[in-house]
Amino acid sequence: LVLATVIVGAIWVAAVESVRGSLPWQAVTTRAKTSLKDQQQLVGAMCVADTEEGCLKLGGGCSWFSYTGDCPNCEKWVSQDGGDVTGCRNWDPFDYCEHQILRSAAEASKKDRGDPDLADVLQHYHIAKGGISKEYAKKMFCNVWCDAMEGSGCFGQPKAYNSL
């Protein structure tokens, strides 16, 4: 009886191995991985709007990234017209301030990340996230935060309007 059970079990395992990926629980795992990537691409494609109001109405992770202008260093160090770092996007605000703005400005200017000129540059870049309109959106601007602990650095991060 034990030998028959082992043989039947081995046949069942062999049958399962031959159809790997086609079992319901395996297909769900595969679909979940694929659909997450597809969903991220879909959200990116959905974040298409010409105005802040239009962008925020889209929801689904879309945010409005803007540049206030009148900043010669911004145009030298980050972007000539701001078009490649502004608009309706599905970007993460923390990554935006740190990587797209501060890192670009620091590399182009060759300045230390704690330099006040870089802080001035960052503060010209703004983010509106969530809400059904401009009035209900969470408003932020990029800023530089420097850790006071010795050996720590400075980082670009979003800061809410009128925060303490």
- Hey, which bits of 10-153 come out as E strands? 63-67, 87-89, 125-129, 138-146
Residue 86: closest CA among 126, 121, 122, 58: 126
pLDDT the model gives residue 5: 44
pLDDT digits (tens, 9 = 90+) for 136-161: 778 999 999 998 777 678 999 999 98
Q: Quote the pTM value.
A: 0.69
pLDDT the model gives residue 45: 58
pLDDT the model gives residue 149: 75
Residue 133: closest CA among 25, 54, 24: 54
Residue 96: closest CA among 51, 63, 48: 63
